[in-house]
Amino acid sequence: MDSVILFCQQLVNGISLGSIYALIALGYTMVYGIVKLINFAHGDIMMMGAYAGYFVLIAMGPTPVGFCAAMIFAMIFSAMLGISIERLAYRPLRNAPRLNSLITAIAVELILQNLMRVLPFVGPNPRQVPQIKIPQLNIGNLSISGISLFVVFASAILMVVLNHIVNYTKTGKAMRSVSYDMQASSLMGINVNKTIATTFAIGSLLAGAAGLLYATAYPQVDPMMGYMPGLKAFVAAVLGGIGSIPGAMLGGIILGIAETMVKGYGPSAYADAISFSLLIVILLIRPTGIMGKKTVVKV
Amino acid sequence: MNKKILKSYLVPGITALACVIIPAVLIKFNFLSAYTAGILNQCAIYAMMALSVNIICGITGQLSLGQAGFMAIGAYSTILLNQMLHIPVPVAIILAALISAVFGFLIGFPTLKLEGDYLAIVTLGFGEIIRVVLTNLKDITGGPNGKSFNTLLTFLELPKFLIFTSALIILIILIQNFIRSSYGRAILAVRDDEVAANANGISVFRYKMIGFVVASFIAGLGGAFYIWHMGFVKPEQASFAKSIDFLIFVVLGGMGSVTGSVLSAYVLTILQEGLRFLKDFRLLFYPVILIIVMIFRPQGLLGTNEFEFKKINEYRNSIKKFFENLFSKFKKGGNK
Amino acid sequence: MSEKKLVLQASDVSIVFGGLCAVSRFNCEIYEGELAGLIGPNGAGKTTMFNMLSGIYTPTEGQITFWDKKGKAININKKNPHQLNKLGIARTFQNIRLFNQLSVSDNVRIALHASRQSSVLDALFRTRKFRNDEERMTARVEQLLDLFHILNKKDEKAKNLPYGEQRKLEIVRALASNPKLLLLDEPAAGMNPQETEELMNLIAFIRKEFNITILLIEHDMKLVMGICEKLMVLDYGKVIASGTPGEIKSNPQVIKAYLGSEAVDA
């Protein structure tokens, strides 16, 4: 019976971690879908969102109200950061070879990380995040961490809202259209610049939320905290099919569960290596990912 | 060998010798301190890494984000070969580079069939996997704290300078010879248009593999020299972050330009040392420059151009013309 | 009586993509020295057929046989493009695929790579064998460029050439690999009438000078009717007619495919 309980707990943890990866992965996948850019800086937007939320929590205390304020602030801050980065670093390079944008994305990542290390009120050392108290859920012998459940719940809401925006609003339609064909979309009267900015805003907003949720679940913030989750979320996006929104959600959850299971039952030190190996295997067998579409290149 | 060919080798040959001998003499007689010599040695090693990245990314056109992984393999292999199998250091270095090349072959095989972005991601993944494995094989690799490797030469900068710089120059010569041959052209054709290259008798996969394996050999060599120079290596040496450092050298110097990569490696490494007084702000320096270059001069310092000795007259003329223009502008202004 | 030798034979070749049958039961026989044309409306499957002949696609059914330079019959269904090039098939592309960053002469030199006589070690250490090989290749490249009147541009980057000369260069490059069968994919695309006329003369010249078999895809009827000896018409992946230009011109099926059924009744 104990092993079943342990398994359920690990599963919930996995889904919780996976939801965070999913939120970050969504940003990667939306940006890639629309401008074909791997935004390496995305993981660090998550980090900035975490810090933004952290400062609000410090100011307002770890109460439900404080937390909501922190969340809202984190999301808005991240969205604006995403829009600024797009405007300053990526838009000038939109027509340049893809390699240049990729390099710029890497540069932005380095700037964000090192900026935080250098800023006097931040600094390279990790900080403890004030924890809000969420009671555990007890079902018989099974006790599930309240925080994990909260993370899953919050992520789910965000994903439902995103799904609605993408599939049922005009903005979403514009986003999908630009991701299919930028030129044709602009000829149809869609403001491409605005649509791309919106995409970055939404993706960054989700990353910021993910950052604060991550800081709640693993209560530390430091300037490098976005690096690994960023990479892993990227793996998740590719796993699910880069460019596919449901794929990012699915990929994130799968990766979160896989990683937690490996850490729980397997050689935990190799968890990272296993995540990357999973990525490589998927790319070799089915490069477009679980939900991606195969494109045939015309010769 | 006929006279004309001998003549064309004369100037480059003398320049190469001068690059090795003059600084060596200066170091020997303490005009250049051991500290400076150490920096020059580090430059040489990083220049080798830049060459490695240039070969696979610039010349073969395959964006690999995991070259640091091969460097780490070279470094750790050297230690193991020497300490566990008691192979003398010079031989261990060559063997370590070969081991890296073998890994390059194994990793390249499935990876090079992928396109563009996917290739980049997979190489990134492999680099990170290597890092994790190195961190966890504690018995062999010393785990996350790394492994030290002290030899006779670790603290003798002058012999290291002679060896590293000569090796670098030999590598540059061999690479240039390769590029300016039918084989080099085949690889450039693959970079330019794979479909056309295939249709014209060039096995695209084979030449991509050649580029990848050669690049991993050189990275392994760089890693072996690195451990010899530093005396210490940590698993982080294989990480994505390190691969990016080397990629930056090549991007700033000019993707595809051998001279550009080497120059860039030397300049940036020296700058890094020179800017130590900036402390952590130094870390912002690279990426900001990178963005500026990407926006205003994306082809890097030299683009795909190489410094060619036979073009020295052309360079002289264009420098002359540049100054002539400058003077004539001043004159015009003076006459007003 | 000289026996006509087969160069290429396709038997019931079909290819299916997803659910779509792009080419269905294609049959043809091309003999040495022939100048044949593959025509048909857009989307009929012509380039797909070429892609099968040059190794980019593998047929899902049927067999393609090619007689190599030694006269041996080879099943080329599963061969790669570079293997086919070595066997003796060369091609040009609908959207010109030159090596834009390389010079004109380097573009042609690439096609000579397969016939190189020096090894990598020779290249690395600049041996005499290497230098002789390079000289030989340079001589051949310049000979070809001269034959086609673009020698004066030999050091220019390929992307800087005017459109017509780019097309010419692509053909010269294809010829440099000394093929037995030359596949030209819409060589007259984007050309005005005068350029097309020059192209017709060029193709006729090539066939004579190089003693080579040519199969081309074209939309320009003047060129097709003007120089092709044999035509095959594709529509929706199927061959609807084949024969001499005269026969094809008046074939009601062909007219219907191009112009619609009203034109047939007209």
pLDDT of residue B104: 95
Write out the H or E segment, with its range, that includes residue C241.
strand C238-243
pLDDT average, residue stretch A105-122: 87
Other residues' Cβ atoms within 10 Å of the Cβ of residue B248: 24
Query: d(Cα A94, Cα B298) in Å, to the nearest integer?
Result: 13
Task: Determine the pLDDT at residue A120.
Answer: 80
Q: Could you tell me the pLDDT band of residue A244, with boundaries at 50, 70 and 90?
A: confident
Closest CA to C41 of C245, C252, C238: C238
Tokens of C118: 């020096």
C50, C89, C99, C184, best to mutate vs chain B, most B CBs in 10 Å: C99
The DSSP bridge partners found for residue C66 are C8, C74
Name the residue among C167, C178, C208, C187 with its Cα closest to residue C90: C178
- Which of these, A162, A179, A210, lies nearest to A43 by C-alpha position? A210
Q: Is B278 within the bounds of a domain? A: no
Per-residue pLDDT averaged across B310-334, rounded?
A: 76
The CB density around residue A153, as the number of other CB atoms within 10 Å, is 12
Average confidence (pLDDT) over C249-265: 73
Give residue B336's pLDDT.
44
Contact A130, A61 (CB under 8 A): yes
Contact (CB<8Å) A100/B110: no
pLDDT of residue B285: 80
DSSP classification of residue B87: -
Q: Dihedral angle at the C-alpha atoms of A80, A81, A82, A88, nearest 10 degrees?
A: 110
**Distance (Å, rounded) from C-alpha C187 to C-alpha C128?**
40
Of all residues in chain A, what percent carry a pLDDT higher than 70?
97
Say if residues C64 and C119 touch (Cβ distance below 8 Å).
Answer: no
Q: What's the rounded mean pLDDT across residues B290-295?
A: 86
Average pLDDT score over residue span A281-296: 76
Q: Which residue of A has its CA nearest to B107?
A: A280
Homologous superfamily, domain C1-88+178-266: P-loop containing nucleotide triphosphate hydrolases (3.40.50.300)
- Spatial CA neighbour of C123 closest among C112, C114, C113, C134: C134
Tokens read off for B18: 């001068």
Supply the pLDDT for residue A1.
64
Per-residue pLDDT reduced to its tens digit, A7-64: 888 888 899 999 999 999 999 999 988 888 889 899 999 999 999 999 998 888 888 8
* Exposure string for C23-34, b = 16+ CB within 10 A, e = fewer: bbebebbbbbeb
Cα B41 from chain centre: 13
Residue B1 has pLDDT above 80, yes or no: no
B131 vs B125: CA distance, rounded Å = 10
At residue C266, the pLDDT reads: 47
Which residues neighbour A261 within 8 Å (Cβ) at sequence distance 6 or greater?
A10, A14
pLDDT, position A10: 86
CATH 3.40.50.300 domain extents, chain C: 1-88+178-266
Contacts of B164 (CB under 8 A, 6+ apart): B41, B44, B45, B225, B229
Residue A200 has pLDDT above 90, yes or no: yes
pTM for this model (two decimals):
0.88
Q: Give yes or no for residue B313 having a pLDDT over 80.
A: no
Task: Please tell me if residue A280 touches chain B, with a CB cutoff of 8 Å.
Answer: yes
Q: Are C109 and C137 in contact (CB under 8 A)?
A: yes
CA distance C1 to chain A (A): 42
pLDDT above 70 as % of chain B? 97
Q: Provide the residue range defining the domain that includes B209.
A: 32-238
Helices A2-35 + A170-180 axis angle, to 10: 70
Cα pseudo-dihedral A65, A69, A74, A75, rounded to 10: 100
Which residues lie below 8 Å from residue A296, measured CB to CB, with a gap of 6+? C17
| Closest C-alpha to C181, from C205, C221, C214, C158 | C214
Q: Residue A118: its chain B contacts at CB < 8 A?
A: 280-281, 283-284
- Predicted pLDDT at A296: 55
Q: How far apart are CA C117 and CA C137, in angstroms?
A: 10
**In chain B, positions 270-289, which contact chain A (CB-CB < 8 Å)?**
280-281, 283-284, 286-288
Q: Measured in Å, how far apart are chain B's first and last C-alpha atoms?
A: 59
pLDDT confidence tier of residue A201, bands split at 50, 70 and 90: very high
Question: Greater confidence, B88 or B220?
Answer: B220
DSSP C103: B
Mean pLDDT of B238-253: 89
Within-domain flag for B318: no
- Please give the single-letter amino acid code of residue C180: K
Asked, for residue B138, whether it belongs to a domain, the answer is yes
Question: Who has greater pLDDT, A142 or B197?
Answer: B197
Q: CB atoms < 10 A from the CB of B285, how many?
A: 16
Tokens encoding C92: 């040009």
What mean pLDDT is predicted for residues A65-76? 90
Q: What integer pLDDT is reported at residue C179 of this predicted model? A: 93
Our count of domains for chain B comes to 1
pLDDT above 70 covers what percent of chain C? 96
What is the C-alpha separation between B125 and A278, in angstroms, rounded? 10
Please state which of the ranges B24-28, B108-112, C86-90, C225-229 shows the lowest mean pLDDT.
B24-28
Contact C258, C235 (CB under 8 A): no
Per-residue pLDDT reduced to its tens digit, C231-253: 999 988 888 888 898 888 888 88
Closest CA to A218 of A271, A147, A159: A147
Q: What is the pLDDT of residue A77?
A: 95
Residue C7 is predicted with a pLDDT of 92
H and E: helices and strands count for chain A: 11, 4
DSSP character for B40?
Answer: H
Is C20 in a helix, a strand, or coil? strand
Token readout for A148 is 């994990």
**Which range has the worst mean pLDDT, B170-179, B321-330, C74-83, C203-212?**
B321-330
Strands (DSSP E) contained in chain A are: 127-128, 137-139, 142-144, 220-221
| pLDDT tens string C147-202 | 998 999 889 999 999 988 999 999 999 999 999 999 999 999 888 889 899 999 99
More confident residue, B133 or A140: B133
**Strand partners of residue C26:** C13
Determine contact: B13 vs chain A, CB below 8 A. no
Mutation test of the interface with chain A: which of B64, B247, B249, B291, choosing the one with the most A Cβ atoms within 10 A? B291
Mean pLDDT of B260-289: 85
- Which one-letter DSSP state was computed for residue A298? P
pLDDT the model gives residue C262: 57
Which amino acid is residue C159, in one-letter code?
Answer: K
Query: In the predicted model, is pLDDT for residue C118 greater than 50?
Result: yes
What HEC string does A184-215 produce?
HHHHCCCCHHHHHHHHHHHHHHHHHHHHHHHH
How far does the CA of residue C157 sit from the closest CA of chain B (Å)?
Answer: 12
Q: CB–CB of A299 and C17 under 8 A?
A: no
Chain mean position to CA B32:
24
User: How far is the C-alpha of C47 from the C-alpha of B73, rounded, in Å?
Assistant: 47
Residue type, A214: Y
H/E stretch holding C7: strand C6-17
Q: Token digits for A4?
A: 């079943």
B80 part of a folded domain: yes
Which tokens sit at C169? 């260069």
Touching check for B303 and chain C: CB below 8 Å? no
Q: For residue B317, is it within any domain?
A: no
Q: How large is the ipTM?
A: 0.88
Flag the least confident range among B61-75, B216-230, C115-129. Answer: C115-129
Q: Once rounded to an integer, what is the mean pLDDT over residues A218-229?
A: 87
Residue C67 is encoded by which pair of tokens? 């007689």
Interface of B with A in 128-147 (CB under 8 A): 128-129, 132-133, 135-136
Average pLDDT over residues B76-94: 89
Q: Which of A100-114, A197-211, B319-333, C14-28 has the lowest mean pLDDT?
A: B319-333
What tens digit of pLDDT does each residue of C49-64 get?
A: 999 999 999 999 999 9
Cβ proximity of B82 and B231 under 8 Å: no
For residues B317-329, average pLDDT: 81
What is the overall mean pLDDT for chain A?
A: 86
Show residues of chain B in contact with A235, CB under 8 Å. Answer: 125
What residue of B is the nearest CA neighbor of A232? B125
Instruction: Provide, for chain A, the percentages of residues in helix, strand and coil under a 3-state DSSP scheme, each rounded to the nearest 5.
Output: 75, 5, 20
Average pLDDT of the residues of chain C:
89
